[in-house]
Structure 1
Amino acid sequence: MVNYLLQITADLENLTDLQPQGGCDDPNFSYLFKLKCGRCGELSQKETCVTLNDSVPLPVGKGTTHLIQKCKFCGRDGTVTMVPGRGRPLSQETSQSGKFSPLMLFDCRGYEPVGYVFCGGWKVVSTDGTTFDDVDLSGGEFAEYCEKGECPVMISNLRATFDVVK
């Protein structure tokens, strides 16, 4: 078993607290990424989607996981289990320092997550307190005008990484 921590960063202009719509542990938020087989190194053709809301029973023993997938090349089964409670919003301060903010922890057995894909369902707050809901980051950026603060707001230069943690 290896734990991978998904971490994100971006350039935030007049914005702070970038996170999934329902918070970092939003049960309906979809995480999209490719999987690399731990046995043969084959990379999945399509992105895999996992959410906290969707779980399946483990084939052996008791318990559940969020994904069971068979490698199309070598036939080996692998699982991905999400571990909530480690994420926090990306603040303007963290963004400006060039650091990453943790989003979700994945317990992976037989697979390694690679290539996180940003999609819709995000929330961000302007520096004057205006909330922007259901932000779609699939295009790689977000730009809007904040009426209350009378300033442009923008998310750009999105980056994500999966780091091995203990």
Structure 2
Amino acid sequence: MVYYKLLFSCETKNVEAISTGGTNYEWHISLVCSSCHTDINEIYFRGDDQVDVANSRGQCNFQMKCKSCAKMINITLEKFPDTVNVQEISKDIQIALFDCRGADPKSWNFQGLTVITPNGTVFNDADLTDTWVEYDEKAAEEVLIDKFKAYFQKSK
């Protein structure tokens, strides 16, 4: 089994936390088959999806066969915090841990996130693929997330 941490960093203004919203968040990930190295365009699954693993007693969140080599690919979301505090980012922050069998994760499409301000204002369905700016009417302040970067790192 190979574990991958999903880490991110960003610059923020008037943001307290970023949230996936829990197990019903839809993870959109691009993969590379670990056998034939074929790129697998964006797949998606939720943390509460349960699929029986072929020829096993276990379950995973996502399963497919590589179209090029027919190798079975299984992905399980092992752990993740619902909400990540981003007020004091001094290093990259882990947002999830995946058990990937048969494929290596390449990229995460970070859309549909929830942004929370220090005074509790919530902005749903934030698209952080580019600079994200909103206005918090309660605080009469701009809310900003910029330079959002995410990457996968092999974990032990």
Match of 1:32 among 14, 28, 53: 28
- Structure 2: tracts of 5 or more residues without a match: none
Write out aligned runs for 1:6-155 (5 A): 6-20=6-20, 22=21, 26-44=22-40, 46-85=41-80, 89-94=84-89, 97=90, 99-120=91-112, 122-127=113-118, 129-137=119-127, 139-155=129-145
| Greater mean alpha carbon deviation, residues 149-158 or residues 84-93 | 84-93
* Structure 1 pair 36–90 and aligned structure 2 pair: CA distance change class (3 A): farther
- Structure 1: tracts of 5 or more residues without a match: none
Identity of aligned residues (%): 28
Is this contact kept in 2: 1:8–1:90, CA < 8 A?
Answer: no
Give the structure with the higher percent strand.
Answer: 2
Is this contact kept in 2: 1:86–1:103, CA < 8 A?
Answer: yes
SS in 1 for 2:30: strand
TM-score (norm. length: structure 1): 0.86
SS in 1 for 2:36: coil
Is this contact kept in 2: 1:90–1:100, CA < 8 A?
Answer: no
- Tell me the CA shift for residue 152 of structure 1: 0.9
TM-score (norm. length: structure 2): 0.91
Q: Distance in 2 between matches of 1:87 and 1:9?
A: 17
- Number of equivalent positions: 156
- Tell me the CA shift for residue 119 of structure 1: 1.2
Is this contact kept in 1: 2:19–2:84, CA < 8 A?
Answer: yes
